Every structure is written in C-alpha cells, then in structure tokens.
Amino acid sequence: MPDGTSKRIDGRAISDEITKGISKQVQILKEAKITPGLAAILVGENPASKIYVKNKRKACQDTGIYFEEYNLPLDTTQGRLYSLIDKLNSKNDINGIIVQLPLPKHLDEKRITSRVACDKDVDGFCPKNAGLMLQGSYRLLPCTPAGIMELLRHENIKTEGKFSTVIGRSNIVGKPMAILLLHADSTVTICHRKTKNLKEICLKSDIIVCAAGKAGLITGDMVKKGAIVIDVGMNRDSNGKIVGDVLFDEVSKKASHITPVPGGVGPMTVAMLLKNVITATFLQNPHVPLKFNRY
C-alpha cells in the first residue's frame, strides 16, 4: 500500500462470498424438504425502512429463502402487532422474523421486538439471545456487529490486544459491537453523545467503529496513522446522497483500512441477516446436521 493511502474494505465483495455459501446452505435444507423462511414487518411509510425491507426481500430471493412482508398502517396498535408476531411465531414456514425499526413513537420497540420467539429472532434483539451473547455463547447475533467482525476476520485484522473504540451505545450496534470486540480480546472503550474527549480517545485507538449517525463526525485529525476505521453511519447529505460518519477522503490518508459508505458495512448487515435465518432454521430443525460455521 503506498504511503498515505488506506485499503478500502469492499463489503459488497465479501458479502457476495458469504451469500454464495448461504445459497448452498439453502440447498442443503431444501434437500431435507425444508425451505427457510423470513417474515418482515413494516409499520408506516418510512422511506428508508421501505428500502431496507426491499433489499432484504431481494437478498432472500437471490438465495432461495422464502420471504413474506407485512405492511401495517402508521396507526397500528401494540395489540395488533403482538397478534401478528404471535401468528408468525407459530407459523411453520417462517423461521425468522424481523420488525423493521424504527417503529412509530406510540409503539414500545423493546416490548415488540422481545415478543418475537427467541429461536426466530434473526435480529438478535431478544433478552435471551442478548444475554447469551454477553456470556460469549453466540447463537443469533445482531447483524451489523456480526458483519463487522466478519469484515475484520476476512481482512486478517487482529483484534487481540488492540485498543478499540466504539462510538455509539445503541442496543442494535454500539453495545453488541463493544461486547464482540471485548470477547475478541480487544481493550474496548465505548463513546457516546456525552463523551467529552472523543478526539483524544480516537487518537489512541487501533480500531475505531463509528455508529453515531452523524455525518462528518470523524475527521482526519482524530485518527492515528495505521488505524482501522469502520464506518457504520448512514446519513443523507444536503444533496440526498448517502454518507457515513467518517470523512472518507481525509481519514483514508491516515487509516490502514477503511470501509466506504455505501458498500462497506451495509451489505454485510444483510448477509448476516441471511446467515441468521439459516442458523434459526437449523435451530428449529435439530435433526438436520448443521454444516455451517455459526460465528
């Protein structure tokens, strides 16, 4: 790598490789007369959520996973969502259920996502799956952090003994990301909106994972030479273009590896969702031998 340029980690290419492996797993299951199935629930008309669900549908179609979509109106009640989730929990042809977030304000996200049966919780949000992850017994992991760990593994980036900083502390990205890095023997710092010395912490970091949802948060002067920078953020700039949290042009002059937005973490999240659907299908069909590395 010439001095002053970093390796751009190609999440699309890596996710394509993983997806090919998933298609093979779908075939193994189909030979055992099982078609893995995913159901997605979307409440309201959030345009970004619609795009995410559309991408998930396409990924399922491409790999042979059966897909069902439930579009509910904005004024859907908690009770109506519960009864749909209960119905899907007992539906034999559905092995994974996702409730697309964010939900409208009047709905209780934590309670609703916890209503999904833990064996079908392909987002890895339910208290049982989150608790097992905390203990290091991986089952169904949250897709974005799992995808980032796959990216690091694929690039042969060692996490052991490294000083890793995670920016963001959401239950979906920041917290599980920090736990996975900790279990991979990193020394982990979690930063958030109230962190006072973000630049100072970042400058010490060998690995930075930024999941704040703030365009331009990480600038070149915040990153030490040779650091690994993973950009989870997905923001729209003033022209409507999707950008990350990291100023790519500046930071790529310092980092040894960097993920672009789009084309970095995003495709890995979808690949890990498919992987979770397969894992969930095997969990629900213990008689079929699992020929798949879980995590």
Residues that bind ligand NAD (CB under 6 A): 144, 167-170, 172-174, 191-193, 195, 198, 211-214, 217, 232-235, 265-266, 269
Catalytic site residue 123?
Answer: yes
Q: How far is CA 266 from CA 13, 53, 146, 148, in A?
A: 12, 13, 12, 10
Catalytic site residue 27?
Answer: no
**Residue number with CB closer to ligand NAD (29 or 112):** 112
CB of residue 216 to ligand NAD, shortest distance in Å: 10
Q: Say whether the peptide bond before residue 2 is cis (omega within 30 degrees of 0).
A: no
CB of residue 208 to ligand NAD, shortest distance in Å: 12
CB of residue 280 to ligand NAD, shortest distance in Å: 19
Which token pair is 245? Answer: 């949290």
Helix (H/G/I), strand (E/B), else coil: 100: coil
CB of residue 29 to ligand NAD, shortest distance in Å: 25
Catalytic site residue 108?
Answer: no
CB of residue 73 to ligand NAD, shortest distance in Å: 24
Which neighbouring-strand residues pair with 37? 66
CB neighbour list of residue 70: distance below 8 Å, 6 or more residues apart: 39, 40, 41, 42, 84
> What b/e sequence results for 203-227 when a residue is b if at least 16 CB atoms lie within 10 Å of its CB, and e otherwise?
eebbbbbbbbbebebbeeebbeeeb
**Residue number with CB closer to ligand NAD (195 or 285):** 195
**Residue number with CB closer to ligand NAD (71 or 195):** 195
Q: Which of 100, 162, 206, 245 is catalytic?
A: 100
Q: Which of 119, 121, 123, 231 is catalytic?
A: 123
**Residue number with CB closer to ligand NAD (178 or 217):** 217
Helix (H/G/I), strand (E/B), else coil: 66: strand
Which token pair is 54? Answer: 């559309």
**Residue number with CB closer to ligand NAD (119 or 231):** 231
Q: Please identify every residue annotated as catalytic.
A: 56, 100, 123
